[in-house]
Structure 1
Amino acid sequence: MTDATPDILARSTAGDERADRRLEKLRAGAKVRYARERRFRLYGLLAIGLAIGFLLLLLARVVGQGYTAFYAHEITLPVYMDPARIDRAYPQGANYQLMAAEQELKRLGETDDEQGSKALALRGLFSSELKFRAARMVRDNPDLIGQTVAVPAPASDDADLYYKGEISKATPADQRRLSDQQIQWLDEMKAHGAVRAHFNTALFTNGDSTEPELAGVLGGVVGSALMLLVTALIAIPVGIGAAVYLEEFSPKNRITDLIEVNINNLAAVPSIVYGLLGVALFINWMHLPRSSPLVGGLVLALMALPTIIIATRSSLKAVPPSIREAALAMGASRTQTVFQHVLPLAMPGVMTGSIISMAHALGETAPLLLIGMVSFVPGVPAAIDAAGSALPSLVYIWENASERAFHERTAAAIMVLLAFMILMNAAAIVLRRRFERRW
């Protein structure tokens, strides 16, 4: 072994030490990176969990408040059709509610006072639908006059809330709308078997009403459907056509750049601005009927156009350029290439964007309030130019109503609206997966 051997060994040892230090630094750096990655994943999971938690909280709140609107209580009363109080020629003119209340008061063993205040208080436990049902029965069969007929009638909103447990006897009398006497009558009628709970079909077959127990969402559903029909017929063809021209045919210059920037800006404009535009353009200038699905659909079409154009252009850009080049190389014209090859391949994204924009339009409220759809419309719109309502408008109107029973119907209307939106978004997902092409 030469004299240089210790130096060589020392340098080798020093090199090994430096390599070990570098390795330790690499390991420490890897630990830091792995720790950051774990924290990032944890943050992502926490964000997802927080979002799901808020969603579940919202759904639980809506369902907890609105599930009671899906069933209602009905009181069946034996009513003697008094010939002295019913005109055979005009049976609709009789006061069936007061007649039924007076007879039910006697069956409950109560004696009315001279002012008839007890009968009036008992009459308040029955919906006004009682008089219409009794009048229809007598009109359809006049021989019922002079007989005792069982007439089923919806309980009034306060009586229905009491049977649902929303009004309690323990509440002080000055803080509830039912008196102790009325609560006693309700308990006695239920004990006699005159009260039954049933699925509230009126919620889906009736239009809006000033009486909560008779109010339904049919008018809002039909109005929303007519508005979406107008919106789809205008926004989808125009939006797709504009997107195809801008993406495939328009020259790239300052004018098209300005148009593209404005389209992107319009997608971020607050919806209430479109409502103001609808009032100025369609109502004040074009004199279209206020509070009609036609005006609502036109306003929502303007609002949906930017979204459809942006989604369609993104879908067209996703088609590989080789498709265009191959079609042009085979002798196809530019128009044939776009409409026979590019657009069919982009159609899944186009349909998805269109359906999502329609679902977004379905839930809009601010534009509808400005064009008059906040007004009370009792019936179901028969045409697109007739006065109507929409589901978001019903939610707004019912939530601001003073009657407590409207609040549960507000939550029920929200559930119906969410169901429609979930169906539309599910349809978009199914269509996209059904027609999607992977390149």
Structure 2
Amino acid sequence: MRRKKNKKEENPFYDPSLKNRHKSSRRFKLFTLASLVFSIAFLAFFLTDIVTKGSPAFKQAYLLVDVTYNETSIKNYRKSIDRKYTGVVSRAWIREVPNMIEKDPSLMGKTVSTWVLADDQVDQYLKGHYYKLKRKDRIIVDDLKAENKAQLQFNKLFFENGDSKTPEYAGFKSAIIGSVLTLLITMLVAFPIGVMTAIYLEEFAEDNKFTQIIEVNINNLAAIPSILFGLLGLAIFISLFGLPRSSPLVGGLTLALMTLPIIIVSARAALRSVPDSIRQAGYGLGLTKIQVTRDHVLPLAFPGIMTGSIIGLAQAMGETAPLIIVGMIAFIPDAPSSVTQAATVMPAQIFTWAGMPERMYIEKTAAGIIVLLSVLISLNTLAIYLRKKFEVKW
């Protein structure tokens, strides 16, 4: 009777541990797939939750009531509407009646049916959210709704107003403009300094202890907590140089310090990706090092430099900690008109609204996050577009 050969005898190259390695490989693939599905599910849940909570903020409750414009309403704005509506109409809107008469004198002595801004509790009631509305006021709103005099209209005040102590009057305009001015300062300071530093270190600097120390410090600065840059900005720009606190100038310079290492590292990587044959060809034609770098290396590396810079600026836009240290968390009802005026930024405004007790600020916080995410996604999309547009094949 012939003895049955084992697998080792049938195949001299058979490895008994191969089966276990295949099992481990399948388990690893399963774990990676599960982690990917979990990440996508978490992201989908996060975006769905934000959009669900934030989309109602783009609608605002308005009531059609009679508004009287006369001398009495100028002296006492509360008497510009019927007394029974005082609990359902926004007090912030009523306070604007004297200003309306000043802007349009033809309103004087008239009683006009006008769509007026509703109180925040009425807004929450009409949206089906949690509300604290008295029974008599709820009856008034129901009657107006039955007569089609209570509607949810597009919330243009969210993009026209700054922050306000009145929830229904609070807007995002001052935070948006403050972010634009702050990032403008950041870009004007960090981009040229970062690119020139990267060009010097990569193309001109010798490899010695001095440049090695600089490189180590740049890499370390790119990894330290952002709040330390806020402390640095507070100590240098406010305490030492006396620049105005809470201004986009100070915030932009602080974010420039934080973004500078990122731009330098990404710019150096882009310069390093340019083949040495480009440089050698330029030297062979008799060009100087400056001419080769300026006319050949830099144009080829520019798409990568732009991509890294835009991503760095997008990261700076989402930072809150360093700006809180330099005072850009203040209550700013009016949008700044210059870089030296007090301002706030979108992340700081979102942080402020998240701590407010009124329920209406919940949807405004989510709406602010939607706007911020839209800007960040747009910046990253722009970075990808620029890289594809100016990418050169060699």
From the superposition, tell whether residues 16 and 50 of structure 1 become closer, same or farther in structure 2 (CA, over 3 Å): closer
1:304 and 1:358 in contact (8 A); partners too: yes
Distance 2:49 2:7 in 1: 65
Question: Paired residue for 2:248?
Answer: 293
Relative to the length of structure 2, the TM-score reads 0.93
From the superposition, tell whether residues 185 and 30 of structure 1 become closer, same or farther in structure 2 (CA, over 3 Å): same
Kindly provide the CA deviation profile for residues 199-240 of structure 1, in whole angstroms up to 9, marking residues without a partner as x. Answer: 111111111111111111111111000011100001000000
Q: Does 1:406 align with 2:352?
A: no
Question: Paired residue for 1:7?
Answer: none
Q: CA deviation at 1:129?
A: 4.1
SS of 1:22's equivalent in the other structure is: coil
Distance 2:91 2:123 in 1: 14
Question: Paired residue for 2:175?
Answer: 220
Distance 1:133 1:333 in 2: 67
Distance 2:363 2:332 in 1: 20
Distance 1:429 1:80 in 2: 56
From the superposition, tell whether residues 393 and 70 of structure 1 become closer, same or farther in structure 2 (CA, over 3 Å): same
User: Which residue of 192, 202, 208 corresponds with 1:253?
Assistant: 208
From the superposition, tell whether residues 94 and 242 of structure 1 become closer, same or farther in structure 2 (CA, over 3 Å): same
Distance 2:29 2:390 in 1: 33
Aligned-pair identity (%): 41
Deviates more, 1:330-339 or 1:381-390: 330-339
Structure 1: which amino acid aligns with 2:128?
Answer: G
Question: Paired residue for 2:264?
Answer: 309
Distance 1:80 1:371 in 2: 46
From the superposition, tell whether residues 78 and 242 of structure 1 become closer, same or farther in structure 2 (CA, over 3 Å): same
User: Which residue of 330, 339, 345 corresponds with 1:390?
Assistant: 345
Q: CA deviation at 1:22?
A: 2.1
Within 5 Å, which residues of 2 pair with 1:173-188? 177-188=132-143
Kindly provide the CA deviation profile for residues 6-52 of structure 1, in whole angstroms up to 9, marking residues without a partner as x. Answer: xxxx9xx99998651425x25x6554444443333322222221211
Question: Paired residue for 1:38?
Answer: 26
Structure 2: which amino acid aligns with 1:60?
Answer: T
1:291 and 1:388 in contact (8 A); partners too: yes
Distance 2:373 2:79 in 1: 41
Q: CA deviation at 1:165?
A: 0.8
User: Which residue of 262, 272, 275 corresponds with 1:320?
Assistant: 275
Distance 1:219 1:93 in 2: 30
Structure 1: which amino acid aligns with 2:76?
Answer: A
Kindly provide the CA deviation profile for residues 74-101 of structure 1, in whole angstroms up to 9, marking residues without a partner as x. Answer: 0111134466x25xxxxx3332x34413
Kindly provide the CA deviation profile for residues 142-177 of structure 1, in whole angstroms up to 9, marking residues without a partner as x. Answer: 55444321122111111111111112xxxxxxxx63
Q: Does 1:100 align with 2:104?
A: no
From the superposition, tell whether residues 420 and 17 of structure 1 become closer, same or farther in structure 2 (CA, over 3 Å): closer
Q: CA deviation at 1:290?
A: 0.5
1:217 and 1:413 in contact (8 A); partners too: yes
Question: Paired residue for 1:112?
Answer: none
SS of 2:113's equivalent in the other structure is: strand
Structure 1: which amino acid aligns with 2:273?
Answer: A
**Cα-Cα RMSD:** 2.2
Distance 2:127 2:142 in 1: 13
Question: Paired residue for 2:63?
Answer: 75
1:134 and 1:151 in contact (8 A); partners too: no
User: Which residue of 42, 55, 69 corresponds with 1:54?
Assistant: 42
Q: Which runs of 5+ in 2 are unaligned?
A: none
Distance 1:141 1:369 in 2: 41
Within 5 Å, which residues of 2 pair with 1:74-223? 74-81=62-69, 85-86=72-73, 92-95=74-77, 97-102=78-83, 105=84, 122-132=85-95, 134-140=97-103, 142=105, 144-167=107-130, 177-223=132-178
From the superposition, tell whether residues 352 and 144 of structure 1 become closer, same or farther in structure 2 (CA, over 3 Å): closer
Distance 1:331 1:340 in 2: 13
From the superposition, tell whether residues 304 and 80 of structure 1 become closer, same or farther in structure 2 (CA, over 3 Å): closer
2:67 and 2:111 in contact (8 A); partners too: yes
Distance 1:185 1:335 in 2: 77
For this pair of structures, how many residues does the alignment match?
393
Distance 2:201 2:111 in 1: 75
SS of 1:374's equivalent in the other structure is: coil
From the superposition, tell whether residues 16 and 194 of structure 1 become closer, same or farther in structure 2 (CA, over 3 Å): closer
Distance 1:428 1:240 in 2: 16
From the superposition, tell whether residues 194 and 313 of structure 1 become closer, same or farther in structure 2 (CA, over 3 Å): same
Q: CA deviation at 1:437?
A: 3.3
Deviates more, 1:419-428 or 1:198-207: 198-207
2:66 and 2:82 in contact (8 A); partners too: no
2:92 and 2:166 in contact (8 A); partners too: no
Distance 1:17 1:391 in 2: 67
Distance 2:70 2:369 in 1: 44
Rg larger in structure: 1
Deviates more, 1:275-284 or 1:329-338: 329-338
Question: Paired residue for 1:22?
Answer: 12
Question: Paired residue for 2:223?
Answer: 268
Distance 2:106 2:160 in 1: 30
